[in-house]
Amino acid sequence: KQEVTQIPAALSVPEGENLVLNCSFTDSAIYNLQWFRQDPGKGLTSLLLIQSSQREQTSGRLNASLDKSSGRSTLYIAASQPGDSATYLCAVIIQGAQKLVFGQGTRLTINP
Amino acid sequence: DAGVIQSPRHEVTEMGQEVTLRCKPISGHNSLFWYRQTMMRGLELLIYFNNNVPIDDSGMPEDRFSAKMPNASFSTLKIQPSEPRDSAVYFCASSWWLAGGRETQYFGPGTRLLVL
């Protein structure tokens, strides 16, 4: 059974810092890995999607990497801003299915 | 595009009552997913449909839960009878599924359900 773990559960940093969020998964047979953002009381917004054949994806200040063999992904946020405060969720789609299996998320707070 | 539309946004009901949650996927998408989010268990997939056909309902907690997709633009998730432990946020998501998993899922705003 695929399990996704995110560390840390919560993170608080001052504005302007670069930071890394971690995600690990137990089964490397995945179609893709996605990072989502969730604001309080809102739905999920897809940030980055990495295909299983890819190593990384970039969007603006965000960079996500994927190491399938070790079952790990990181989300790098450069020059953090208070508007980046949200919960960040990592999810994988396992091969042969369309199911997204989510981690528990990292609650990020950027202090002005 | 209006995105995935869910209704109601909030629902408060009493134990034993029937609850119906509704979802309109993004036009042109061929897959629809129902998720539940709680503090204890996080986000869990309940059921998903491809081309209006249920593919995997292994996440449906018990027989009190049922889901239908009568056409490509509408789905319902019904709980009958509801119990306090069903209190959660229920999300609907849709995608255009291609072999190889290249497409992301787009989530609706969710329905916040409270069963008293």
Segment A59-78, tens digit of pLDDT = 999 999 999 999 999 999 99
Cα separation, B26 vs B93, in Å, equals: 9
Backbone angles phi, psi at A47, to 5 degrees: -100, -55
pLDDT value at B100 more than 80: no
Please name the member of B4, B31, B91 whose beta carbon is closest to the beta carbon of A98.
B31
**Residue of chain A nearest B4, judged by CA positions:** A43
Q: How far is CA B48 from CA A15, A69, B54, B65, in A?
A: 40, 29, 6, 13
Cis peptide before B81 (omega within 30 of 0): yes
- pLDDT level of residue B102 (50, 70, 90 thresholds): low
Contact at CB, A102 and B42, closer than 8 angstroms: yes
Asked if A14 and A109 touch (Cβ cutoff 8 Å), the reply is no
